[in-house]
Amino acid sequence: MTTVLVAATSAVTRAGLAALLAVDKRLHVVIGAAELSLAEQIETLQPDVLLIDLGPERGAESLQDWGAAALPGMVILTDDARRTLGADALRQGGRAVLPRHASAGEIVAAIESAANGLVAIHPDSLEALQPAALGAERAAAATAQRTLTARETEVLAMIADGLGNKIIAARLGISTHTVKFHIASIFAKLNAGSRTEAVTIGLRQGLLMI
């Protein structure tokens, strides 16, 4: 069963999305406590997928507000699905970007894809992900590259040593979900699509010692 944490600024929206997904028995839908931050909710509930509604007229900057790089596989609902948010979200660890009017079936399919480590692209987002647009986004990301934290560098070094998430978690004394959050952040900051690519980039940029 896939555990899905529903996040939205509006309590009504959270409840509506939870009710929409609750009919699918393959999903365990949870809504975090309002008094906890999103990071605390993720650490406590340890969801497989985060379904996040950015709300009306909210764009790519909202991902920074949510701390997107520290989240599990994200399925994002947004009114900005046709623009560059799709590329931004995928680069920051998102697994699917859907318009807020997406059907329950489309949302469930995206959640299943995210839970299996796949990327789901809605037709409304394809224009922003054409090769020319995506290439420009990747170039901009390289220019605006962010620095890894000490913990992220430590995790990257362990990835380079071929260690799996469970072993990394045990050595650092953290949960496997927290390890996943760090890896998602590393991928986002290095603009990497895989563990191998992240290590390669880390070596090229002097973040790792051979």
List the chain domain ranges.
Answer: 2-141, 145-204
Chain position carrying tokens 């790089």: 69
Measured CA to CA, the distance from residue 93 to residue 187 in angstroms comes to: 7
| pLDDT band for position 123 (cuts 50, 70, 90) | low
pLDDT, position 159: 92
Please state, for a pLDDT cut of 70, what percent of the chain lies above it.
Answer: 70
Identity of the amino acid at 78: T
Q: Where are the alpha helices (DSSP H) in the chain?
A: 11-22, 38-45, 61-66, 85-91, 104-115, 131-143, 150-160, 165-172, 176-190, 195-204
pLDDT digit string (tens) for 2-24?
898 888 878 888 889 888 888 88
133: left (phi over 0), alpha (psi -120 to 50) or beta: alpha
Specify the CATH architecture of the domain 145-204.
Orthogonal Bundle (1.10)
pLDDT, position 43: 79
Residue 174 burial (C-beta neighbours within 10 Å; 0-12, 13-18, 19+): middle
Please state, for a pLDDT cut of 90, what percent of the chain lies above it.
Answer: 11
| pLDDT band for position 204 (cuts 50, 70, 90) | confident
pLDDT at 144 over 50: no
**Angle made by CA atoms 27, 186, 85, in degrees to the nearest 5:** 65
pLDDT at 141 over 50: no
- Global pTM value: 0.54
What residues have CB less than 8 Å from 130, skipping those under 6 apart? none
pLDDT, position 172: 93
pLDDT digit string (tens) for 50-87?
888 877 655 444 555 554 444 567 888 877 655 555 55
Measured CA to CA, the distance from residue 204 to residue 157 in angstroms comes to: 13
What would the two tokens of residue 34 be?
């309002």
pLDDT, position 170: 94
Residue 41: how many other CB atoms lie within 10 Å: 20
Closest C-alpha among 74, 54, 83 to residue 185: 74
pLDDT, position 200: 87
SS3 35: coil
pLDDT digit string (tens) for 167-191?
999 999 999 999 999 998 888 888 8
Domain 2-141, CATH: 3.40.50.2300
| pLDDT band for position 164 (cuts 50, 70, 90) | very high
